[in-house]
Amino acid sequence: MPSRWFRPANRDVWMMGVLNCTPDSFSDGGNYVDVEKALQHGQAMRDAGAAIIDVGGESTRPGSKPVSLEDELQRVIPVIKALTAAGCTVSVDTMKAEVMRQAVAAGAALVNDVSALTFDAESLQVVAESGVDLCLMHMQGRPETMQLNPEYRGVVDEVSLFFEQRITACLQAGIAESSIVLDPGIGFGKRLEDNLTLIKATGEFKRRFAMPLLLGLSRKSFIGLVTGAAVDDREVETAVAGAVGILHGADILRVHDVALQGRAIRMASVLS
């Protein structure tokens, strides 16, 4: 059975709306720590066209510090319960197996792990037993240190090798191949040139793995390096980078401003 996260024929690519229930995320930290505000924003993103709402309780911005399991659970589980009760499809953005376990019990349909299930030894088993979908992202290092002199000899080949290893580990653990989505990890332990190369290599990843590909480009620091735009003024550049990704075969774009990016995605989708 093919993955449901491939871009549907003659349809726009999927949108994943970002819902950071954190005080310190790089773009919208502190905006949605209240459950009611988070619910309203998640519903608004769903109504604007987001197919899935990605709920996170631990910032993974460069230099961010880890949070305790208790704090992360307190931030995300009530929000996931509220969103799923309101009919939203929810993913949980976490590296912790216990957060994954409780998030799935609360209704999450996808685990989005920036460590590709390498951070917590129990996470492979949790995802395998749950049967939910999974996004495997590449990251060099950990959020706290990932932007301290990242280095690659060939970023596409190195990310591909990582994907091969993690896909194998997932299949051996009993995770269905059709449940896996790949994310090259734009901005996660990458230099500017690495990020640009990976976006342009979207089609190459699709050819190598025949799996849905997610791109998280929204408001990332590489945009600021190219244009000098501040974090809260990068939607135009996000749209352009996203369009390039769509033209090369991306299936899902992870975005902050769903209404605005939805317009750009519509235009890029009809041209691709």
CB-based contact 18:255 (threshold 8 Å): yes
Helices 69-85 and 97-106, packing angle to 10 deg: 20
Strands (E), the chain: 14-20, 52-56, 90-93, 110-113, 133-137, 180-183, 214-216, 252-255
Q: How far is CA 1 from CA 5, 66, 85, 202, 211, in A?
A: 12, 37, 28, 23, 12
Phi-psi group of 63: left, alpha or beta (phi > 0 → left; psi -120 to 50 → alpha; rest → beta): left
Q: How far is CA 157 from CA 134, 185, 209, in A?
A: 22, 14, 12
Q: How far apart are CA 147 and CA 150, in angstroms?
A: 6
Mind telling me the catalytic residues? 220, 254
Q: Which residues pair with 253 in a beta bridge?
A: 15, 215
Q: How far apart are CA 247 and CA 60, in angstroms?
A: 28
* Residue 158 neighbours by CB under 8 Å, 6+ apart: 152
List, in sequence order, the alpha helices (H) in 145-218.
155-173, 192-200, 202-209
